[in-house]
Amino acid sequence: MCLAIIGKVESIEYPFATVNFKGTKKKVRIDLIEDLKIGEYVLVHVGFAIQKVDSREVEQYNEIWENVINSLQ
- Which residues bind to other proteins, rule: CB under 8 A? 1-4, 29, 31-34, 43, 45-48, 50-51, 53-54, 57-58, 68
Sequential DSSP letters for 1-41: ----EEEEEEEEETTEEEEEETTEEEEEE-TTSTT--TT-E
Give the nearest distance from C-beta 32 to other proteins in angstroms: 4
Q: For residues 41 and 53, is the Cβ–Cβ distance under 8 A? A: yes
Closest CB to other proteins among 13 and 34?
34
Q: What's the closest the beta carbon of residue 43 comes to other proteins, in angstroms? A: 5
Looking at the Cβ atoms of 38 and 46, the one nearer to other proteins is 46
User: How far apart, in Å, do the first and last CA atoms of the chain sit?
Assistant: 32
